[in-house]
Structure 1
Amino acid sequence: MYYKTLTIAQDISHANHLYSPRLLTEASEKVIKAWEAEETSPSDGLVPSQELYDGRRIIMGSVGVFLKLVADPRVRLMVITHEFYEARALQIVAEARIPDLLAEGDPKVGVPIEVLSKKAGVKGQKLARVLRMLCSVHIFTEVSNYRFANNHFSQVLVGNDPLRTFILASSLSYDITTASTKLPQVLFDPIKTEAETDSVTAFQDAHNTDLTRWDWLEQTITLPNGTTGRRPELANFTMAMLGGGRVMGPPLYTDFPWAELGQSTVVDVGGGIGGMSLDLAKRYPNLRFRHSRSSTRSQASTRRMV
């Protein structure tokens, strides 16, 4: 009985998945129409139309369903175990400013790996492997053998330090990547697995510290040149928050009825350097903003941003 029930459930599941091609076709038509509409009535490019947003979601979801249908489960699991290489490869090209270097060349013929190697300070053969890994996930393009160019994904990093530092200092930062190697050890520790504080995490084990990540970032240390100062990661993190806000923030500027607040005061808690508040102030000059940092080393400041 159990086997029969399971078989019926699987049949229903597969039948439902067969709707995906139809959904994909309909969504593709919506996206194409949205693109055509943007050509005649250009938008600011920061917030997609509702039609484009919905179409993208359906297409990406359908792709996931197809993957579930056709992928060998064993191969799929093995692929996932190696996906961290893609993140690290992206971090490497961001640090080496490869998109900016590629922008200096002719995209039709590409930039030779020898040129990139010399400017980036990385052996050509090894840098090519990094770039080819990213090409395989559609970031960059190899125009011809060992000649690379930007595509529409990597192009957004050209001259874009805020987004570049987001890659370096946010979700892909060295300190967090290092901490992730200790995550299994901490989760399986009978004492640490019960902890509910940000001072008992994989981060502390990885960096041999009792400090939280935020206090660690603000530490005064001895720098490579012999002087003392804040960790370089702190400046990167600050710029990264600006970069992240520029990508994630625009929908918040339009979806919430800010204009209806009139001359109200908006309190931005934990808003980094206040990038979102500044952007909102430009769009809604009647609003007042209170920028409150959570750090114990600083006091909340109130100011009119115009």
Structure 2
Amino acid sequence: MRSIEIPTLRRLANIINEAIDKIERVYAEAEIPLPSLDAPFNPADPAEALLQNPTVEGVTLNIVAAAAQLSATVASPSVSAFNASQAFHISACLRAASEVNVVEVLREAGGAGLHAKEIAAPSKTDPLLLARILRLLATHNIFREVTPNVFANNRISSVLDKGKPSKVLFQNRDERLTGTSGFAALVEFSADHDMKAVAMLADTMLDFKEGELGFNRAYNTTASFWDWLHRPENVYQMQRFDIGMRGTAAMESTDAILRGFDWSGLPTGSVLVDVGAGIGHISLVIAQKNPGLRVIVQDLKDTIKDSKIYWKEHLPSHVESGMVDFQVHDFYAPQPVPNAAVFMLRHIMHDWSDELVVRILRHLRDAAQPTTKLVVVDKIVVSAARVPDSETEAIPGAKRPLAPKPLLPNWGVGKAEVYYYDLTMHCMVGGVERTLQHFVEVFDKGGWKLERVYHPAGSQMSHIVGVPSRLTQDTRPQSRSHM
């Protein structure tokens, strides 16, 4: 009997229906309702915690991917392409709403919402224009238009809440983001500098100039993003960037570092070198669970000052026992620690081109013992095409689940963040998010063999582990710092 192939539309619909059935079952068993899109986000709500349930989290990804692919399949291709070309309006309007503190004004107004005239009054902005901005966002399910020109927060808009009275935000603009979770700062920075830099992508491709990035073209500067950010006139931009980076950290559980590489398998007294550590908040989490490890926190001078304060506040026992050292170190200089059990590079490699990364890795290789491990914590880009098993999948732990057919194997829109971030890194700092094969090649040029990979549950980051191998010809790049 000949099997009948299920049409693509029906298969996509089935994926969505099956996912909804599973979500409803989980919430029914807990006897609580699914969080409403119309209600503000409440992180303390037990219903929100259920969304982190592994079953719910997995099928939610299927829904997002299938819904987007279903829409793309049936919608007019010309309309879809044109709408995609205008997606920048969403970014611009989101930033505008955050800059004039709409979320906080609406939070104080309550669920009934507020007329655009009243929303605009504290910022002295044009109420008609603000209504048009909020209507576009509401059309994309960010904010809610209760009645014509009356708007209220919803589950998505409310995550931009800075947690302060709106009056305080308007009184001191320079300090409006200080003391916040950092998420609003992250969104504003992304919809400001990142968007402007990426807008120059085609320009820098068609009129290529060595060393020029989208950021340079957008801001008419030859300075690197890092140097530009540290200029005296950009103090507010620097502050917003720093706070936004903390917002990024808040999106990833610090415990994820414990669910990959086996830190507990290192012998007591082993040395973990946190290279380009920032304040070392991740190596501190490792030390809390593995107090027998000696940690060396390495970064530039100003950051190391903050790191010492942070460790004294959060793990004084490690400081007092001398189990943590703080070193001022530029990772483009030779590595001064000769007895490391592990060199950890977290959120470092994606900031830099292959040439620069190879230089970092070679300095670590020069200082490594035969037993030293390299642990790179970064995202791994997955192809949007279904490909047969490759040599890289022979690496232990490297293979990961793919989305069920007919979904795109990388879950498409459901996991688009890494692809956005990849181009942001290119346009802002010349960095790159890498595929696994790309990591293999860069490791090899830097004198390391990619040995295995861990994909910690509930994390977007992978732990990519290398061991010392041969060295190849040297190159001489420059620059410093990391995003």
Counterpart pick for 2:204 among 174, 180, 186 = 186
1:136 equivalent in alignment to 2:139: yes
- Size of the aligned set, in residue pairs, is 276
Measure the CA separation in 2 of the matches of 1:184 and 1:288: 48
Structure 2 match to 1:224: none
Structure 2 match to 1:77: 81
Kept in 1, the 8 Å contact 2:273–2:297? The answer is yes
Deviation at 1:232, TM superposition (A): 1.2
Cα deviation per residue 1:269-296 (whole Å; 9 max; x = unaligned)?
Answer: 4555555556x36974737655444x68
Kept in 1, the 8 Å contact 2:95–2:187? The answer is yes
Distance 1:16 1:97, change over 3 A: same
Distance 1:78 1:261, change over 3 A: same
Bigger drift between 267-276 and 30-39 goes to 267-276
Q: How does 1:207-218 map to 2 (within 5 A)?
A: 207-218=219-230
Relative to its length, the structure with more helix (as a share) is: 1
1:25 equivalent in alignment to 2:37: no
Kept in 1, the 8 Å contact 2:186–2:245? The answer is yes
Measure the CA separation in 2 of the matches of 1:100 and 1:261: 48
Measure the CA separation in 1 of the matches of 2:254 and 2:75: 36
Structure 1 match to 2:231: 219
Measure the CA separation in 2 of the matches of 1:275 and 1:123: 43
Partner SS for 1:231: helix
Counterpart pick for 2:184 among 164, 167, 176 = 164
Measure the CA separation in 1 of the matches of 2:294 and 2:100: 40
1:117 equivalent in alignment to 2:124: no
Measure the CA separation in 2 of the matches of 1:277 and 1:47: 28
1:244 equivalent in alignment to 2:248: yes
Q: How does 1:53-68 map to 2 (within 5 A)?
A: 53-68=57-72
Kept in 2, the 8 Å contact 1:135–1:142? The answer is yes
Distance 1:17 1:237, change over 3 A: same
Kept in 1, the 8 Å contact 2:264–2:290? The answer is no
Distance 1:243 1:275, change over 3 A: farther
Partner SS for 1:18: helix
Measure the CA separation in 1 of the matches of 2:78 and 2:116: 35
Structure 2 portions without partners, runs of 5+ = 33-44, 164-179, 316-483
Instruction: Indicate the structure whose relative CO is greater, using CA pairs within 8 Å and at least 6 residues apart.
Output: 2
Partner SS for 2:239: helix
Deviation at 1:115, TM superposition (A): 1.3
Counterpart pick for 2:195 among 173, 177, 181 = 177
Deviation at 1:256, TM superposition (A): 3.1
Kept in 2, the 8 Å contact 1:242–1:275? The answer is no
Cα deviation per residue 1:121-166 (whole Å; 9 max; x = unaligned)?
Answer: 2110000000001100111101112111111111222235311101
For 1:219, the aligned partner's letter is R
Deviation at 1:17, TM superposition (A): 4.2
Measure the CA separation in 2 of the matches of 1:254 and 1:59: 29
Measure the CA separation in 1 of the matches of 2:102 and 2:64: 28
Structure 1 match to 2:464: none
* Identity value in percent: 23
Cα deviation per residue 1:166-210 (whole Å; 9 max; x = unaligned)?
Answer: 1112x32x2332223322111112x43xx4xxx421211222222
Partner SS for 2:221: coil
Kept in 1, the 8 Å contact 2:143–2:153? The answer is yes
Measure the CA separation in 1 of the matches of 2:295 and 2:187: 28
Measure the CA separation in 1 of the matches of 2:31 and 2:281: 30
For 2:66, the aligned partner's letter is S
Measure the CA separation in 2 of the matches of 1:135 and 1:35: 27
Kept in 1, the 8 Å contact 2:113–2:150? The answer is yes
Kept in 1, the 8 Å contact 2:143–2:151? The answer is yes
Structure 1 portions without partners, runs of 5+ = 1-10, 222-229
Kept in 2, the 8 Å contact 1:268–1:289? The answer is yes
Cα deviation per residue 1:26-60 (whole Å; 9 max; x = unaligned)?
Answer: 11112223334566794983981210111111101
For 2:203, the aligned partner's letter is Q
Measure the CA separation in 2 of the matches of 1:127 and 1:275: 40
TM-score, scaled relative to structure 1: 0.77
Deviation at 1:86, TM superposition (A): 0.4
Deviation at 1:254, TM superposition (A): 6.4
Distance 1:128 1:200, change over 3 A: same
1:152 equivalent in alignment to 2:170: no
Partner SS for 1:143: strand
Distance 1:37 1:292, change over 3 A: farther
Deviation at 1:23, TM superposition (A): 1.2
Distance 1:132 1:46, change over 3 A: same
Kept in 1, the 8 Å contact 2:120–2:127? The answer is yes
Kept in 2, the 8 Å contact 1:258–1:284? The answer is no
